[in-house]
Amino acid sequence: MQTFQPPRRVLMGPGPSDVSPRVLAALARPTIGHLDPAFQSLMEEIKGALQRLFNAPDHACVPLPAPGTAGMEAAMMNLLEPGDRAVVAINGVFGGRMADMAGRAGATVVTVEHEWGQPVDPARVEAALAEAPTKLLAFVHAETSTGVRSDAATLCGLARKHRALSVVDCVTSLGGIAVDAAAWGADVIYSGTQKCLSAPPGLSPIALSKAAQAAIAGRKEKVRNWLLDFNLLMAYWGGPEGSGGGGRTYHHTAPVNALYGLHESLVVLFEEGVQAATVRHARMHEALAAGIEAAGLKFLVEPKWRLPMLNTVIVPDGVDEAAVRAHVLKAWDLELGAGLGPLKGKVWRIGLMGESATPWHVRLCLTALCDALNAQGVSVDSRAVLAAAEGRLQQ
Amino acid sequence: MQTFQPPRRVLMGPGPSDVSPRVLAALARPTIGHLDPAFQSLMEEIKGALQRLFNAPDHACVPLPAPGTAGMEAAMMNLLEPGDRAVVAINGVFGGRMADMAGRAGATVVTVEHEWGQPVDPARVEAALAEAPTKLLAFVHAETSTGVRSDAATLCGLARKHRALSVVDCVTSLGGIAVDAAAWGADVIYSGTQKCLSAPPGLSPIALSKAAQAAIAGRKEKVRNWLLDFNLLMAYWGGPEGSGGGGRTYHHTAPVNALYGLHESLVVLFEEGVQAATVRHARMHEALAAGIEAAGLKFLVEPKWRLPMLNTVIVPDGVDEAAVRAHVLKAWDLELGAGLGPLKGKVWRIGLMGESATPWHVRLCLTALCDALNAQGVSVDSRAVLAAAEGRLQQ
C-alpha cells in the first residue's frame, strides 16, 4: 500500500468539478479543534456567507457534515413524520430519491411523475396539492440527471398557497444560476459543495426558514436521524440568528479541513461576485452549445429549461456512448458524465460548473469530443466546431 | 470575508489529534471523479486496509462519508427496526447517544447504566440480555468522555451466547489499542478518522460481519436512513467481498479528498505497524501518567481500565478547570479537553492520539500544565514532573 497519486483529470461530468488550487491549499492547512474559538469564527463566517449565497437572510444556514444527499435527507427527516402527506415532483433521479426518503421518514408520499428531460409541471403539482392537506412539497430546481431547470418561484408559491412547506434541491444550481430563497419563499434549500462551488464533495449547505424551524420544533416524535437532527445541529452551530456562536453544545465533530475548503470556495465566489459567476456560466454554456450544434449534435432539453452547468447531449445513432467517454478520458484526461436510468447509453452529461466553466474547458471539451466522434467514424469538422464556440466566447 | 488562516495548535484534546504533513498534503491533491477508475482502485485499497486494521477479514468494510457518529447511526439504523429489543450499555456520553439512536430506529431500548469512569459490567449486561430475546447489544470499547476501556471480547461473547448481534464503538480505540473484530466476534465495529488515525474528522470506517449483513438483508421495512443504508452503500462500494469494485451503482458522491487523507493515514500507520503504534501509545501514556502523578494529580480511572490515548485527570480542589485550559491554549497553543456531562468542570481530558502520541507532546503538555497550575497558585515542581516522565521515556 503506497501513497495515492491521482491521475491528471479535467472534470466536466455532473460533479465533482475542478477544484481550484486555492481551495486545495485551504484543505491542507493544519487541523484545529472543532471547539476552538478560531474555528467558531470560521463557522460564523460560513453561516453568514451561506445566508448571502442562498439570499436567505432570515433562514438558518449551516453546512451539513456529509455529501449533498445529506441536505435532502435532513429536509425529509426533519420535516416529515408518520401521518404527514408529502407531494414529491419527479423528473429525474433526484426527485425519485426524495420520494424514497420521504417514505423512510414515515410520510404518505404522493409522487407527480414527469418524463425525464421535462421541467416540473406546476399545474399537475397544484392538482396533487389540492387533493388533501399536505405537509411538504419537494422538487429539484436543477435536475442533475437530465439537465433541466424547473420554475422554483412558481412551485414554492404553490406550496405556500396550499399551506405546505417547500423543499428545493439546489445541489447543481447554487452558484451557477439564480438561487433566491427569499424571493421564492422557499422553506428548505440545500446544495452540495462539488458542483458550482468547486470545493471537493463531502458537505451539504442547507437553509431553513422560520416556518421550517417551527415545524421541526413542533414535531410529535423524534427525528429519525441523530446526525442530521436540526435541533441538535443548531445547538452545535451556535443558533440560527447570528448569535455569535455562544453556548455551543457538542454534537458531532465537524469536518474541519473540509470546512476550510468550503470557506475558501466561498471567498473565491464572492471575490468574483455571485452575479458575475452566473453570467459566466451562461456564457460558457452558450459557447459550448454553439459548438455542440455545429458538430451536428442535439440537446435533450429545450433551450428555455436548459441548465448552463449541466449539458445533456443526445448520443447520435450508431455511436457507442461509453466508448466516447473512454476515449476522451484516455486521450484527453477528460471526464464526461454518462446518462442515468432511462437515459443510460442515450446521452452524455457535460458539466460546466464553477472552476470548470471557463473558455479553456469549452475548447478542450469540444476538441476531445470531435476527436472521439471521428474515432467512431462520425465525421466532424473540429475547426468549424471550435470556430462556432469561439464566436460566442468573443461576444 | 478573507482566506482563513488557522492559528498554530497542538491538539491534545479528545480529538481531532494532530494531522501529519503527509496526510495534509494528501488532502490537497487534485480532486478526481468519484466514478473514475483510479478512484475505484483507491476505494478497493481502503476497503482492504480497513479489513486489516479491524482484523476483520470476513467483514464488509467501508468508510462512511460523515463523522464518527455516522458509524454509530449506521449500526443502529441498519440493524434495528420497530419491534426489536436493543440492550445498550451506558458508561459515558457515547453509550447514551447509542441508546438515543436505537430509539429513533424504532427499537425497544433497555439501558444498563454505569457510573461514569467505570467500565461496562459484563454481569449486569448479561442479566439484561437474559431477560428477553434481544436483537442487538451495543457498547463503547473506549469511552472518550471518561477515558475508560471496556472488555470487548467478553461483551461480544455474551451477545453471541444470547443470540444478539454486537455493536462496538471503537472511535477512540482504533489504531491506539488492540481492536480485533475476528477475535472478539464483533458484528459491527466502527471508528472515526480524527483520533488515533490522525486524519481530519469527517469519515467513519465501519465493518459489518456476515451475520450483520444477513440481518440487514432480512429486514421487514426499509432502513430509516438513505445515506447510510448499507444495502445501497455496498452497491456503491463494489460489494463486500473484494469483488474488485465491479458493477458499482451510483449512490452518494464520495468525499474524494477526505478519502485521500484517510488512505494516506492508513499508509502511515501500516508503515509504522499497527502493533508498534499500540506500543507507542502505551509508552506515551505511561510517561504522561508518571508526570501527572509527580505533579500530585490523580486519574479518574483505575489503571487496569485506563485508555492510553485519552487521559482523564481530576481537577484539584480550588483549581479553575476552564482557566487552566484557557492558559495552556493562550500561552502554549495547546488544546486540552474539558469534561462532559457529570464530569464537566471536574476533569481534563488529555489526548495522546496518533501523531499527538510522541515524547514531544508529553513534554509540552506537562510543561504547559505545570505552568498553568503555578499560575493558579498551585505550586508544582515542573523539573521533577518532567524528570518523572523522562524516566519512563528512556526505558
Q: Is A176 on the interface with B (CB under 8 A)?
A: no
Task: Give A-chain residues touching B97 at CB under 8 angstroms.
Answer: 226
Alpha-carbon distance B72 to B205, whole Å? Answer: 10
pLDDT for res B237: 86
pLDDT tens sequence for chain B (395 residues): 999 999 999 999 999 999 999 999 999 999 999 999 999 999 999 999 999 999 999 999 999 999 999 999 999 999 999 999 999 999 999 999 999 999 999 999 999 999 999 999 999 999 999 999 999 999 999 999 999 999 999 999 999 999 999 999 999 999 999 999 999 999 999 999 999 999 999 999 999 999 999 999 999 999 999 999 999 998 888 764 444 444 678 899 999 999 999 999 999 999 999 999 999 999 999 999 999 999 999 999 999 999 999 999 999 999 999 999 999 999 999 999 999 999 999 999 999 999 999 999 999 999 999 999 999 999 999 999 999 999 999 98
The cell numbers describing A147, all together, are 439537465
- At A63 the three-state DSSP class reads strand
Kindly write down the DSSP assignment for every residue of B164-179, as one continuous string.
Answer: -EEEEE-TTTBTTB--
Residue-wise pLDDT tens digits, A11-64: 999 999 999 999 999 999 999 999 999 999 999 999 999 999 999 999 999 999
Kindly list the distances between the CA atom of residue B304 and the CA atoms of A308, B117, B278, B307, B351, in Å, as whole numbers in the listed order: 63, 12, 16, 9, 18
**Burial profile B86-113: b = 16 or more Cβ within 10 angstroms, e = fewer:** bbbbbbbbbbbbbbbbbbbbbbbbbbbe
Task: Give B-chain residues touching A257 at CB under 8 angstroms.
Answer: 19, 24, 27, 200, 202, 258, 261
Q: Interface pTM (ipTM) of the complex?
A: 0.96
Residue-wise pLDDT tens digits, A144-197: 999 999 999 999 999 999 999 999 999 999 999 999 999 999 999 999 999 999
Residue-wise pLDDT tens digits, A46-57: 999 999 999 999
Contact check, Cβ <8 Å, A31/B16: yes
Instruction: Give residues with Cβ within 8 angstroms of A42, minimum separation 6.
Output: A259, A260, A263, B4
Residue-wise pLDDT tens digits, A334-391: 999 999 999 999 999 999 999 999 999 999 999 999 999 999 999 999 999 999 999 9
Strand ranges of the sheet holding B188-190, from the earlier edge strand across to the other edge: B60-64, B204-208, B188-190, B165-169, B136-140, B85-90, B108-113
Percent with pLDDT over 70 in chain A: 98
pLDDT for res B249: 81
Task: Give A-chain residues touching B39 at CB under 8 angstroms.
Answer: 6
- Of A332, A354, A137, which Cα lies nearest the Cα of A261? A354
Q: Is B52 on the interface with A (CB under 8 A)?
A: no
Q: Which residue in chain A is spatially nearest to B251 when comparing CA positions?
A: A69
Q: Which residue in chain A is spatially nearest to B336 when comparing CA positions?
A: A33
Task: Give A-chain residues touching B257 at CB under 8 angstroms.
Answer: 19, 24, 27, 200, 202, 258, 261
Contact check, Cβ <8 Å, A33/B9: yes
Mutate to test the interface with B, among A35, A39, A98, A226 (most CBs of B within 10 A): A226
Residue ranges and CATH numbers for the domains of chain A are 31-270 (3.40.640.10), 274-393 (3.90.1150.10)
pLDDT for res B271: 98
pLDDT at A99 over 60: yes
- At A268 the three-state DSSP class reads helix
Using CA of residue B90, residue B96, residue B99, residue B103, what is the dihedral sign?
Answer: positive
Q: Is A330 on the interface with B (CB under 8 A)?
A: no
The gap from C-alpha A37 to its chain's centroid, in whole angstroms, comes to 31
pLDDT for res A238: 76
Contact check, Cβ <8 Å, A226/B252: no
Q: What is the DSSP letter of B20?
A: P
pLDDT for res B247: 60
Nearest CA of chain A to the CA of B105: how many Å?
A: 7
> Which pLDDT band holds residue A243 (cuts at 50, 70, 90)?
very low
pLDDT for res A239: 61
Instruction: Kindly state the average pLDDT of the residues A91-117.
Output: 98
Nearest to B201 among A66, A200, A253 (CB): A253
Element (H, E) at B158: helix B152-161
Contact check, Cβ <8 Å, A66/B227: yes
Alpha-carbon distance B95 to B112, whole Å? Answer: 9
Q: What is the DSSP letter of B249?
A: -
Instruction: Kindly state the average pLDDT of the residues A231-238.
Output: 87
Q: Which residue in chain B is spatially nearest to A171 when comparing CA positions?
A: B253
Q: Are A308 and A299 in contact (CB under 8 A)?
A: no
Task: Give B-chain residues touching A192 at CB under 8 angstroms.
Answer: 253
The cell numbers describing B124, all together, are 449486569
- Of A374, A86, A226, which Cα lies nearest the Cα of B71? A226
Contact check, Cβ <8 Å, B5/A264: no
pLDDT for res A240: 45
Which amino acid type is present at position A176? G
- At A229 the three-state DSSP class reads coil
Give residue for cell 472511535. Answer: B171
Q: Which residue in chain B is spatially nearest to A198 when comparing CA positions?
A: B31
Contact check, Cβ <8 Å, A65/B68: no
Q: Are A353 and A15 in contact (CB under 8 A)?
A: yes
Instruction: Kindly state the average pLDDT of the residues A273-288.
Output: 98
